[in-house]
Chain A
Amino acid sequence: MTRTEINDIIVNEIKKVLENDTMEINAETVIQDIPEWDSLNNVDLEMTLETECGIDFEVGEFEELKTLSDMIDTVGKKVN
């Protein structure tokens, strides 16, 4: 999987759960700080990545990933 593919999965999922197509998300966006973002959305995103990328996060691992690029890095390491 390429970084762009992982990036698209994450960004699309965030836009989907927040029902907001117009929001700006870049590599340095801190996901937890997005307005309206809550722990339920976070589980949602984690599970989506697990299913779509065929990976597993350890308990507590996903919470450590702050920015979009942190997520892409970690997912990238796990799939490749």
Chain B
Amino acid sequence: MLFNSYQFIFIFLPIAFGGYFFLNAKNFFLGSKVWIILSSLFFYSWWNINYLPLIVLSILVNFFISQALMKDPQHKKLFLLAGLGFNIGLLGYFKYMDFFIGNINWTLGTDIPLLHLALPLAISFYTLQQIAYLVDSYGGLVKEKNFLDYTIFVTFFPQLIAGPIVHHKEMMPQFASLKNKFLNFDNIALGLFIFSLGLFKKVVIADTFGMWTNAGYAHAEALNLIEAWVTSLSYTFQLYFDFSGYTDMAIGAALLFNIKLPQNFNSPYKATGLIDFWQRWHMTLTRFITTYIFKPFLKALGKVTFEKAMFATIFTMLIAGIWHGAAWTFVFFGILHGLAITINHYWKKTGIHLPVWAAWFITFNFLNFSFVIFRAENMEIAISMFKSMFGMNGLVLSEKYFAFLNSFENGFFVLGDVYPYIDGNSRTTIAILLAFVLVLVFKNSTAFLREFMSTRASLFYGMFLFLIATSFMSRISEFLYFNF
């Protein structure tokens, strides 16, 4: 069930919420646990019930291994390896098998048939979360003995599908707290507000840019210079508003249940460097890869040197790239970001400070180019888009506003319709400019969360966002991160 659907907002969420607090109010805490698990599994199965056995299997196996790990510390390394093998194997099989087979066929000239497996929803997220849990259990940082609690940790519906990627140790104390089992009107006001804000970001902003993105990428080879830049920027904005909108809705929905999910975005497009960017973008993923991939890998290399750390950075970002999907574009995206972070570290060592605007400009343009690779279905389309962005298909300016330049028309520059392929108009240009203002000037939702006060003004503001957003909801669209 999508957060941005009438079924979720007007039927599922009120029932899940009402049932949970009704059972808690009757002191039937076991019942409320079961209720939230069943609600979450129902929420998950709404898409495709065929994936339900897989997530249940994953939960059972991981819980079983964590118990064995605790009961038999002498063999805990063996259990950890088995657990990692299971999780990585499951993800590898469903997500990467066809990519692997395809590449084998291509290199060896063989003809092994592809499996054509659909990616089970949320598998990339619940796998990471459980890997972190197993490693934490191995280190004695968490001790979970209750199967229902463990299941809540994995399946709690606000964060189940696409994060934030949470840690057991930050979630379970919140569910255990007695105070959190009863209605908290401050959290409800705050949750509804952030949910509305996220809904607005998703259905009004991201989906609008999404139309131009999709149309533009369908004709990457034909776009004129401005249209190509508008297409690439549209995707850059769509990606942020889509994913951070989703995250706001997740945070808002969880707050209704008195659960605080971790922050996932901190105005990433204000970043003035690539290190800075990854500290602000999909922060729970950064936290995961830093803790569970980068550091153990670096430590395994022996005595730490700067060069080894840079190598570990590129390796880690490569994994992060592939995590997004099984395609060479993601491999390339990961390596590119790894290299950029490395350059950023070398730059820091020189001690030279760029003016803030220059640092921002370089960072933002790097991001925008790298997101072309991230978005394109394959490298050919990405290259076509780059060519178009560099003016290989000429420059078109609007006849309406630039008629006075008509004597300059030549093979490269003409007057005419600027946005023929993406079906845009002057509002498209304005939307791009407004989006820059939104990401560069406005406070982010975390700041809203921190400074929120349940006043009449926030009520009106929240209602306003909610009403506009729900009126846009007839054009239902999935979240981009559901594909990762």
- Partner of A43 from B132, B140, B309 at Cβ < 8 Å: B309
A47 proximal to B (CB < 8 A): yes
| B470 CB, min distance to chain A CBs, angstroms | 38
The distance in angstroms between the C-alpha atoms of A72 and B29, with both chains bound, is 38
The distance in angstroms between the C-alpha atoms of A57 and B246, with both chains bound, is 35
A40 proximal to B (CB < 8 A): yes
B141 proximal to A (CB < 8 A): yes
The residues of B that contact A28 with a CB separation of less than 8 Å are none
Dominant SS among interface residues on chain B: helix
Are B304 and A43 neighbours in the complex by a CB distance under 8 Å? yes
Chain B 308-325, CB-CB to A under 8 Å as 1, else 0, gives: 010001000000000000
* Number of chain A residues close to chain B: CB under 8 A: 16
- Partner of A61 from B141, B294, B299 at Cβ < 8 Å: B141
Chain A 56-69, CB-CB to B under 8 Å as 1, else 0, gives: 00111101100000
A2 proximal to B (CB < 8 A): no
Chain B 282-295, CB-CB to A under 8 Å as 1, else 0, gives: 00001100111011
| B146 CB, min distance to chain A CBs, angstroms | 21
Are B279 and A38 neighbours in the complex by a CB distance under 8 Å? yes
A39 proximal to B (CB < 8 A): yes
The distance in angstroms between the C-alpha atoms of A63 and B275, with both chains bound, is 17
Are B141 and A63 neighbours in the complex by a CB distance under 8 Å? no
| B33 CB, min distance to chain A CBs, angstroms | 26
Are A64 and B169 neighbours in the complex by a CB distance under 8 Å? yes
B18 proximal to A (CB < 8 A): no
Q: With contacts defined as CB atoms under 8 Å apart, how many contacts are there between chain A and chain B in the complex? A: 49
The residues of A that contact B135 with a CB separation of less than 8 Å are 59-60
The distance in angstroms between the C-alpha atoms of A47 and B291, with both chains bound, is 14
Are A59 and B309 neighbours in the complex by a CB distance under 8 Å? no
B139 proximal to A (CB < 8 A): yes
Are B287 and A38 neighbours in the complex by a CB distance under 8 Å? no
B136 proximal to A (CB < 8 A): yes
The residues of B that contact A73 with a CB separation of less than 8 Å are none
Given the interface pairs A40-B345, A43-B295, A47-B304, the reply to whether A63 lies near B279 with Cβ below 8 Å is no
Are B169 and A63 neighbours in the complex by a CB distance under 8 Å? no
B230 proximal to A (CB < 8 A): no
- Partner of B294 from A39, A60, A64 at Cβ < 8 Å: A39
Are A63 and B309 neighbours in the complex by a CB distance under 8 Å? no
Given the interface pairs A39-B294, A43-B309, A63-B287, the reply to whether A58 lies near B299 with Cβ below 8 Å is no
The residues of B that contact A5 with a CB separation of less than 8 Å are none
A8 proximal to B (CB < 8 A): no
Task: Select the residue from B136, B141, B291, B309 with max chain A CB neighbours within 10 A.
Answer: B291
The distance in angstroms between the C-alpha atoms of A46 and B309, with both chains bound, is 14
A-B contact list, 30 entries, CB within 8 Å: A19-B351, A36-B348, A38-B275, A38-B279, A39-B275, A39-B286, A40-B309, A42-B290, A43-B295, A43-B309, A46-B295, A58-B136, A58-B138, A58-B139, A58-B140, A59-B291, A59-B292, A59-B295, A59-B296, A60-B132, A60-B135, A60-B136, A60-B139, A60-B141, A60-B291, A60-B292, A63-B290, A63-B291, A64-B141, A64-B169
- List 15 additional contacts besides A38-B279, A58-B140, A63-B291; criterion CB under 8 Å: A19-B351, A36-B348, A39-B286, A40-B309, A42-B290, A43-B295, A43-B304, A59-B135, A59-B139, A60-B132, A60-B167, A61-B139, A61-B141, A63-B287, A63-B290
Give the interface of B toward A (CB within 8 A).
Answer: 132, 135-136, 138-141, 167, 169, 275, 279, 286-287, 290-292, 294-296, 298-299, 304, 309, 313, 345, 348, 351
Give the interface of A toward B (CB within 8 A).
Answer: 19, 36, 38-40, 42-44, 46-47, 58-61, 63-64
